[in-house]
Structure 1
């Protein structure tokens, strides 16, 4: 049996006092009950906090895997690490090598004897999850997608994702890379456990009720894409589990034999999902006070719209 543990959205650092303590508590639990595999599914820590977080988990005696999140590749003007793509494709992989983590965006992790591949991707968004409804209901929808402008404030990816891509061109590139890894694993006969940061399936977004507000229409557009969703649904029989984060809202779905899990941690509390393979036994733990999250999602706000703008 392979014991796998997945967490996401650690947003490491002492700036978020309760969340920092929750991460330390999560680490202590892992140290007491160490899995065979630990997966950090993105938004690990912005800037120098990313390395500090890897340093914390380095001591665990297990295989450690990483996919980055959008916060992990934020850069400022003149950032010595390079632009966001250089951080994604060079700087973070070098840190992972230094601290003993396997970077899933560069290569899957294979269990040849068990016939299991762990395929990972940061994943990205291209507006396709929200474009149809936005086109019908929001006159300036194209400008809002390009500027990432909400009813109040702006998505900070507009400020801190700096590269030569558009969302659409990067999304196409990263899905193509993921597809190549997935196809090679499937061609070799592996069952594939998929881990992304941005949700691969719309069923793993937070629930909303109609009529949706402007921000509730925009957040899905900045959370995923139809390309990777369709690829996943085309291979349901070979993907028993998908895990993701990003939305800060725990969610599950079942599509035929595929089980989807959005881990659902937030700034002030953290979550850990454990999976035993191949039995499929799942367990979930929460560290910190999740009750602070009870207001989410509200009728007038999406979950993330209640997070301070500087933290998006």
Structure 2
């Protein structure tokens, strides 16, 4: 995605308006939202700069920013003195088994965007048989790859009924991921000096429309849990334990959940029958309790959003790739937008 350089890192809680070519661009939490008809921004590559001055006033309500009507541009300022600046690439819902030929597109993009690590936010495959090979290929390009399972990754379709979804989460997938040389998110934090990456798959309050014939209901097997809410409670306990451990040592915490963490913010965009299935506000309530959390991301919902969760103005982002043609007809253009570069 495009990046913008600015001389000084702007105030974290400031929303600014600047002018370029007579049109407005809006700054939110180190992001710029610009109308698509600004050619100077539309044509940017990953290392270009936006030559403009930012000024404005603070606002108590930045509101909802969705990438569909415009383009988001990352502002990269200088890190605070004495802290390590960590540059992360994030994407979710790649669904490689539905997107043949997508892995080379991701690899090409990563070669052009130097990062400290790639964070994969779940739903790479509906199963795990090809996961290790994919992670090894990505590790040839980026120094570290962090994998968090999504609901599709916990389907038991590759196990012939020999293992259940909890065994996949707690033992099988961690072994597959670490054997490939990558790092597993879901059980313990990953560390970049004083920056902690904390993650769980999360879960949801109910099936869509209360149905029990959805793919998750039939392809995920939970012998220890009688309902989605019980799976969610287990995940909340895992997340709380990680947040406690990270808070004791970290200066900054980055949190990832596969299912959505702040569901109420999605209500205007998601049908009420589907809303209980996208995630749970209980995840967000837990995350928000920890003041060292500086950024949160999720997947599962195949739409791009960037929210500022008030009153602390915590950035919460969803940036999936999705199914073929779902978020764009050209995979390279979709990857350009969906692979997010986040600097902490």
Instruction: Provide TM-score, normalisation by structure 2.
Output: 0.65
Q: CA deviation at 1:50?
A: 2.9
RMSD, aligned α-carbons: 2.3
Q: CA deviation at 1:126?
A: 2.1
Q: CA deviation at 1:162?
A: 1.0
The one of 208, 221, 241 aligned to 1:162? 221
Change (3 A) 1:207 1:272: farther
Bigger Rg, which one:
2
Deviations 1:175-194 (A, max 9, x none): 11110110121133532110
Deviations 1:152-193 (A, max 9, x none): xx4211110112112121111111111011012113353211
1:132-211 aligned within 5 A: 144-145=209-210, 147-148=211-212, 154-164=213-223, 165=225, 166-202=227-263, 205=266, 207-208=268-269
SS in 2 for 1:26: helix
Indicate the larger mover: 75-84 or 57-66: 75-84
The one of 286, 302, 305 aligned to 1:251? 305
1:96/1:102 contact within 8 Å kept: yes
Map of 1:7 onto structure 2: 91
Change (3 A) 1:208 1:77: same
Change (3 A) 1:51 1:208: same
Change (3 A) 1:77 1:266: closer
1:193/1:242 contact within 8 Å kept: yes
Change (3 A) 1:229 1:31: same
Q: Which runs of 5+ in 1 are unaligned?
A: 131-140, 149-153, 210-215, 278-312
The aligned length equals 244
Regions of 4+ moved over 4 Å: none
SS in 2 for 1:240: strand
Greater share of helix residues, 1 or 2?
1
Instruction: Provide TM-score, normalisation by structure 1.
Output: 0.72
1:20-39 aligned within 5 A: 20-39=100-119
Deviations 1:81-106 (A, max 9, x none): 51111111111111111111111112
SS in 2 for 1:192: strand
1:206/1:249 contact within 8 Å kept: no
Q: CA deviation at 1:239?
A: 1.4
Q: CA deviation at 1:223?
A: 1.6
SS in 1 for 2:274: helix
2:94/2:321 contact within 8 Å kept: yes
1:81/1:91 contact within 8 Å kept: no
1:116-131 aligned within 5 A: 116-127=195-206
Q: CA deviation at 1:125?
A: 0.9
Q: Which runs of 5+ in 2 are unaligned?
A: 1-84, 325-330
1:240/1:257 contact within 8 Å kept: no
Q: Are 2:146 and 1:79 equivalent residues in the alignment?
A: no
1:125/1:171 contact within 8 Å kept: yes
SS in 2 for 1:218: coil
SS in 2 for 1:20: coil
Task: Name the CA distance, whole Å, in 2 between partners of 1:203 and 1:254.
Answer: 13
Indicate the larger mover: 248-257 or 183-192: 183-192
Task: Name the CA distance, whole Å, in 1 between partners of 2:299 and 2:267.
Answer: 11
